[in-house]
Amino acid sequence: MIEINGVSKWFKDVVALSDVTFQMGPGVTALLGPNGAGKSSLLRIVCGLTAPSRGDVRVLGKRPRHDLSLFSDIGLVPQQEALFERLTSFELVRAAAILQRVPSPEDATVQAINEVDLDPSDKRPLRSFSKGMRQRVKVAQALVHSPKILILDEPLNGLDPRQRLHMIELFRRWGSEGRTVVVSSHVLEEVEKIGSRVVVLGRGRLVAEGDFHEIRRLMDQRPHRIRLLSGAPAKLGAGLIAEGLVVGARVRSDEEIEVETEDVMLLRSQIAKVARKNNIRLKEMSPLDEDLESVFRYLVKS
Amino acid sequence: MGEIYNALLRTALSKGRLAGIAVVSALAMLLGLAVGLDDNAFQDVRLAGYSLITGIGLSLLAPITALVFGSAVLGDPAEEGTLVYLWMRPIPRWHIATAAMGVVLTVTIPLAVIPIGISAMLTGGGRALSLGSILASFLAVSAYGALFIGFGLLVRRALVWGLIYVLLWEGIVASVGAGPARLSVRLYTQSLLAEIANVPRPEASVDVWPAVITLVGIALAGMGLALWRLRTQDIV
């Protein structure tokens, strides 16, 4: 349904995407990557909002920047927050329905606004809406014409946990109805809930694609750096190396040691035993590189 | 097209813009009234009216009103990121450009064309001056409006560049000689008004029909520029 072939995009000296190739079909695909990874650039190319510097994109067999009829089949939730501030949510979504030539625009508008858990009779202008409400209006205008393809760029930003859950349920339902739903996110935990198929972008390159659990396993198996505080850091490091629980250790101070392990779970389960065996009082254990940036750095390197 | 027009119109209309332009409109009408009330002070009231209309109406009110709304009508949505909600629809791009032109005319006719016509009438310069002022100012806002719609999509800070064009180029450079004057919209609107009102024509002026054709041509070129930008530019 969406074919991306050797797509590169650069802005003067800055390379946003570099030779990216993959396909997306019916169901939910999560596009994962840290900020600046090239997710928005890729989605904008798929929607025809910008042309690739090199390569080719086909959506439903058509070239998005050249075939206006394609927009009947695509709904986009852009990343930017701006809306037509003086319109009401009903007016904005109805405008989308009319421009998409939906047979009963009023009915479709009410249905779309209800679907995102907003009130179609709300007369307030959009400028008075909270960030979460604006996000939901953006989703409503994208789905009002029941498109075959829904592209959502960071659609969960600004939503509270209950709204996030509701939105994720919607994405899954649309996916199960046979639509192609592409959701970008930089939050790993979000992606875990959104879809089983994941495409990971890092520094403009395709880093990984496939089943989420497979990619998660790859992420979890990377070397982890852990900071340990104890009364005898050198002795603790030696004990952990002897037990094969860590692959490297560096004493940082009288009580701090940094260790590197390939199996965090095993280290967690065994460290107390090693400390007891060596008569060492373990004070604290904290991960040093659990943030997403480190995970992506690792994936990009590998 | 009505939905695009509605969204663009309500975005372009702001209290600040309306108030600023309304002050200049009121000033133009007040000056017209002042000339009309004190007609003994002028040897030729029609010429005095013509000078007022070209000096305030065609040189300031019409271009500035068209600039303020023309540069904003698509330029603001393009910069803010709301144009995408109109652009990603299966509609011909000329619908968007035409709706934008409709917005500019909707605003500039009551804020510039009608006040200029009233101002001309109040001077007591005669029917030809009034009708000529309405026609010249209508063609002026059409030409400037279309030009600045396209300009709003072409450059950032189109309002500033537009002001430079209107105030520096048309106001100063174009008065230096016939060459630069021919590259200014004002020459054609002034020529048109001078011909219709039957007053001495400005330097380098052109006849009625060439003036009308040139102004319509500028409007079409502006629309063409907007259409080309809508088809080719990156949408935020």
Question: Lowest-pLDDT range, A69-78, A89-98, A124-133, B179-188?
Answer: B179-188
What does DSSP say about strands A27-32 and A180-185: parallel, antiparallel, or unpaired? parallel
Tell me whether residues A68 and B234 touch, CB distance under 8 A.
Answer: no
Q: For B92-125, what is each residue's pLDDT tens digit?
A: 999 999 999 999 999 999 999 999 999 999 998 8
Minimum distance, in Å, between the CA of residue A139 and any CA atom of chain B:
12
Minimum distance, in Å, between the CA of residue A35 and any CA atom of chain B:
17
Q: What angle do CA A8, A13, A14 make, to 5 degrees?
A: 55
Question: CA–CA separation, A29 vs A31, rounded Å?
Answer: 6
Q: What's the whole-number mean pLDDT along residues A115-130?
A: 94
SS3 for A255? coil
Q: What is the pLDDT of residue B59?
A: 93
Q: What's the whole-number mean pLDDT along residues A203-209?
A: 87
Minimum distance, in Å, between the CA of residue B213 and any CA atom of chain A:
33
**Cα-only R_g, chain A:** 24
What does DSSP say about strands A248-251 and A256-261: parallel, antiparallel, or unpaired? antiparallel
Mean residue pLDDT of chain A comes to 89
Q: What is the pLDDT of residue A287?
A: 77
What is the H or E stretch that residue B233 is in? Answer: none
Tell me whether residues A98 and B3 touch, CB distance under 8 A.
Answer: yes
The band of A106, judged by pLDDT with boundaries at 50, 70 and 90, is: very high
Q: What tokens were used for B217?
A: 């041509």
Nearest CA in chain B to A76: B88
State how far the alpha carbon of B196 is from the alpha carbons of A292, B62, B211, in Å: 72, 18, 12
With a cut of 90, say whether residue B202 has pLDDT above it.
no
State how far the alpha carbon of A121 is from the alpha carbons of A90, A130, A133, A140, A264, in Å: 7, 17, 14, 14, 52
The band of B58, judged by pLDDT with boundaries at 50, 70 and 90, is: very high
Residues B153 and B183 sit within 8 Å (Cβ to Cβ): no
Smallest CA-to-CA distance from A243 within A217, A216, A280 is with A280
Q: What is the pLDDT of residue B133?
A: 96
With a cut of 90, say whether residue A174 has pLDDT above it.
yes
Q: What's the whole-number mean pLDDT along residues B28-50?
A: 84
- Residue A302 is classified by DSSP as -
Enter the ipTM.
0.85
Question: CA–CA separation, A128 vs A132, rounded Å?
Answer: 12
Nearest CA in chain B to A99: B89
Q: What percent of chain B has pLDDT over 90?
A: 76
Of A76, A92, A95, the CB nearest to B84: A76
Tell me whether residues B84 and A100 touch, CB distance under 8 A.
Answer: no
Q: Is A286 on the interface with B (CB under 8 A)?
A: no
SS3 for A202? strand
Q: Is A60 on the interface with B (CB under 8 A)?
A: no
pTM here is 0.82
Q: What's the whole-number mean pLDDT along residues A200-213?
A: 85
Smallest CA-to-CA distance from A143 within A187, A185, A110 is with A110
What does DSSP say about strands A180-185 and A149-153: parallel, antiparallel, or unpaired? parallel
Q: Which residues on adjacent β-strands are paired with residue A184?
A: A31, A153
Q: For A227-255, what is each residue's pLDDT tens digit?
A: 999 989 999 999 999 999 998 899 999 99
The band of A211, judged by pLDDT with boundaries at 50, 70 and 90, is: confident
Q: What's the whole-number mean pLDDT along residues A171-187?
A: 91
Which residues of B fall within a CB distance of 8 Å from A41? Answer: none
With a cut of 90, say whether residue A186 has pLDDT above it.
no
How many residue contacts between A and B have a Cβ separation below 8 Å? 70
Minimum distance, in Å, between the CA of residue A209 and any CA atom of chain B:
27
Q: Is A10 on the interface with B (CB under 8 A)?
A: no
Q: How many CA atoms lie within 13 A of A232 on its CB side?
A: 13
Specify the amino acid at residue A84: F
With a cut of 70, say whether residue A27 has pLDDT above it.
yes
Q: Which residue has the tokens 């100063």?
A: B172
Minimum distance, in Å, between the CA of residue A99 and any CA atom of chain B:
6
Q: What is the DSSP secondary-structure string of B161-229?
A: HHHIIIIIIITTGGGT-HHHHHTSHHHHHHHHHHHHHT-PPPTT---HHHHHHHHHHHHHHHHHHHHHH
- Residue B5 is classified by DSSP as H
Question: Lowest-pLDDT range, A6-10, A86-90, A148-152, A295-299?
Answer: A295-299
With a cut of 70, say whether residue A299 has pLDDT above it.
no
Smallest CA-to-CA distance from A240 within A280, A289, A290 is with A280
Question: CA–CA separation, A155 vs A138, rounded Å?
Answer: 9
pLDDT top residue among A265 and B162: B162
Smallest CA-to-CA distance from B96 within B217, B230, B221 is with B230
Q: What is the pLDDT of residue A301?
A: 58
Tell me whether residues A85 and B11 touch, CB distance under 8 A.
Answer: yes
Q: For residue B51, what are the contacts with CB-CB under 8 A and spacing of at least 6? A: none
With a cut of 60, say whether residue B186 has pLDDT above it.
yes
Specify the amino acid at residue B12: A
Q: What is the pLDDT of residue A116?
A: 93
pLDDT top residue among A158 and A176: A176
Minimum distance, in Å, between the CA of residue B150 and any CA atom of chain A:
19
Q: What is the DSSP secondary-structure string of B70-100?
A: HHHHTHHHHHHT-THHHHSSSS-HHHHHHHH
With a cut of 90, say whether residue A34 has pLDDT above it.
no
With a cut of 60, say whether residue A292 has pLDDT above it.
no
Q: What tokens were used for A207?
A: 């880093």
With a cut of 60, say whether residue A302 has pLDDT above it.
no
Which residues of B fall within a CB distance of 8 Å from A84? Answer: 7, 10-11, 77, 82, 85
Q: What is the pLDDT of residue B94?
A: 95
Q: What is the pLDDT of residue A293?
A: 56
Residues A207 and A299 sit within 8 Å (Cβ to Cβ): yes
What is the H or E stretch that residue B102 is in? Answer: helix B93-108
Q: What is the pLDDT of residue B201?
A: 83
Which residues of A fall within a CB distance of 8 Å from B234? Answer: 44, 49-51
Q: For residue A294, what are the contacts with CB-CB under 8 A and spacing of at least 6? A: none
Residues B175 and B167 sit within 8 Å (Cβ to Cβ): no
Mean residue pLDDT of chain B comes to 92
Nearest CA in chain A to B85: A96
